Amino acid sequence: MRYTQFGNTGKKVSALGFGAMRLPTRQDGDKKVVDEDLAIPLMRHAFDMGVNYVDTAPGYCGRTSEAAVGKAIKGYQDKVYISTKNGIKNTCPDDFMIRLESSLTELDVDYIDFYHLWGIKQEPFKMWQGLDDGPYHAIIRAKEQGLIKHISFSYHDKPENFKYIVDSGIFDSVLIQYNMIDRSNEDNLAYAKEKGLGVVVMGPVGGGRLDAPSEFIKGMLQQKPASSAEMALRFVLANPNVDIALSGMSEMAHVNENAKIAATTGNLSDAEIAHVKAMMDENAKLAQLYCTACDYCKPCPINIDIPYIFGLMNNHRVYGLTEHSKYAYKQIIDRVYASIGPDASHCTGCGACETKCPQDIPIIEQLRETHATLA
């Protein structure tokens, strides 16, 4: 396993981090919970392979991930750093502390190594700073009390709002999205590193998209990687501004494969990185010939999420991620995520979307084509 200095924290962290959002689960009544008989040996195997950073959150795996992580680290407390998060629901500092104390209890620890303000955005963050007391002040007090060692944040806001939060000066590390397809935060990785923050990347395989077979992605290098997932992970780890690539692993095979990749020195040469970026940029331009996800076509009268569905089609025809696109489209058909709305076959042909599309895309026709291809 390769290790690196984690910003200005004084800690050395493994290139691969364990994301405890996709631990093995079992059915318990009407909900899924962590199957600890499988999950605890899985995490400990990763620790034995050299992984020393594990990330969880109160809501993961039916609210049972933190407890499983807490049990897994018994005997590894001096070797493994714990990261969890506070899902801020209001500005009350007492409520913030209740959630922190709940995580300490679930994890069965006296302190948390890296505690995140979860998914913060610029405007709420500014408001918290302006309060006489609130989440901003509560997390600083928690650090002063020794309940947390380092203040962190996870980021899902627009790329251009990132620097304001970093410049507040209270954060030691950040958890941020970055992968071959989504490089919108590339400059932010460099800025965080420049400011002395430890940088953890979530979604290095694009939330599973890049885990699906793709000859296009595998063929980017002369010496082909074994899988699209390997190519994606190597790309992220080759960025000098990335300290940890966080991977959600649910099987021993995932741990073994990812640990092997993370242990490889010289993941990609500068020339290879430039080549991959050029190919992805060229294909991103091709994707924009179809749909740029500007959202002008929304709302659909029957709530079809046209940009999301066209995004799946783009991943199929531009990046060769056909298997994942079909899997994700079936979830729409099965209404797994009701917020996305119905599948493309429900289009009534009313034409409301086409009158608003700045690219004059024949949306009705392409929705039919998408359904025929992915259903």
**CATH number, domain at 12?**
3.20.20.100
Q: What is the DSSP letter of 248?
A: E
Looking at per-residue pLDDT, the higher value among 45 and 316 belongs to 45
What local confidence, expressed as pLDDT, does residue 89 receive?
A: 87
What local confidence, expressed as pLDDT, does residue 269 receive?
A: 67
Same-domain pairing of 306 and 249: no
Same-domain pairing of 301 and 249: no
Asked if the structure places residue 127 within a domain, the reply is yes
Asked if the structure places residue 205 within a domain, the reply is yes
Same-domain pairing of 142 and 212: yes
Asked if the structure places residue 275 within a domain, the reply is no
For residue 81, the enclosing domain spans 3-268
What local confidence, expressed as pLDDT, does residue 25 receive?
A: 94
- At 71, list the tokens: 């049990």
Among the candidates 268, 300, 319, a domain finishes at 268
Mean pLDDT of 84-106: 95
User: From CA 28, how far away is CA 50, in angstroms rounded?
Assistant: 32
Mean pLDDT of 215-224: 54
Looking at per-residue pLDDT, the higher value among 225 and 317 belongs to 317
pLDDT digits (tens, 9 = 90+) for 167-180: 999 999 999 988 87
What local confidence, expressed as pLDDT, does residue 31 receive?
A: 87
Q: How many CB atoms lie within 10 A of CB 155?
A: 25
What local confidence, expressed as pLDDT, does residue 322 receive?
A: 83
Q: Tell me: pLDDT of 277 over 90.
A: no
Same-domain pairing of 39 and 71: yes
What local confidence, expressed as pLDDT, does residue 64 receive?
A: 96
Number of domains in the chain: 2
Looking at per-residue pLDDT, the higher value among 138 and 222 belongs to 138
**Closest to 178 (Cα-Cα) out of 225, 229, 235, 224:** 235
What local confidence, expressed as pLDDT, does residue 182 receive?
A: 76
Which residues sit opposite 16 in a β-bridge? 245
Asked if the structure places residue 274 within a domain, the reply is no
C-alpha distances in Å from residue 167, one per residue of 156, 172, 185, 192, 309: 17, 11, 16, 9, 37
Same-domain pairing of 262 and 332: no
What local confidence, expressed as pLDDT, does residue 141 receive?
A: 96
**Residue where the block lists tokens 């969880």:** 56
What local confidence, expressed as pLDDT, does residue 207 receive?
A: 52
Lowest mean pLDDT among 46-50, 136-140, 180-184, 296-300: 180-184
Kindly report the average pLDDT of the chain as a whole number.
Answer: 87
The distance from CA 112 to its chain's CA centroid, rounded to whole angstroms, is 21
What local confidence, expressed as pLDDT, does residue 285 receive?
A: 52
Same-domain pairing of 147 and 293: no
Lowest mean pLDDT among 43-47, 129-133, 198-202, 281-285: 281-285
Same-domain pairing of 216 and 300: no
Q: What is the DSSP letter of 269?
A: -
What local confidence, expressed as pLDDT, does residue 287 receive?
A: 47
Phi, psi dihedrals of residue 86, rounded to the nearest 5°:
-115, 110
Same-domain pairing of 252 and 328: no
Same-domain pairing of 47 and 151: yes
Same-domain pairing of 295 and 177: no
pLDDT digits (tens, 9 = 90+) for 364-374: 999 999 999 99
Q: What is the DSSP letter of 339?
A: G
Q: How confident is the model at residue 206 (pLDDT cuts 50, 70, 90)?
A: low
Give whichever of 190-194, 211-215, 318-322, 359-363 has the largest mean pLDDT.
190-194
Mean pLDDT of 48-77: 95
Share of the chain above pLDDT 90, in %: 60
Q: How many CB atoms lie within 10 A of CB 99?
A: 17
Please report, as a single letter, which amino acid is at residue 340: I
Q: Tell me: pLDDT of 213 over 50.
A: no
Asked if the structure places residue 140 within a domain, the reply is yes
Mean pLDDT of 121-139: 94
Asked if the structure places residue 277 within a domain, the reply is no
Asked if the structure places residue 132 within a domain, the reply is yes
Mean pLDDT of 34-47: 97
Q: Tell me: pLDDT of 222 over 60.
A: no
Mean pLDDT of 357-365: 84
Cβ-count burial 221-242 (b if 16+ within 10 Å, e if not):
beeebebbbbbbbbbbbbbebb
Q: Tell me: pLDDT of 32 over 70.
A: yes
Q: How confident is the model at residue 282 (pLDDT cuts 50, 70, 90)?
A: low
Whether 235 and 268 have beta carbons less than 8 Å apart is answered as yes
Q: How confident is the model at residue 5 (pLDDT cuts 50, 70, 90)?
A: very high
Same-domain pairing of 365 and 252: no
Same-domain pairing of 264 and 321: no
What local confidence, expressed as pLDDT, does residue 294 receive?
A: 73
Asked if the structure places residue 33 within a domain, the reply is yes
How far is it between the farthest Cα atoms of the chain? 62
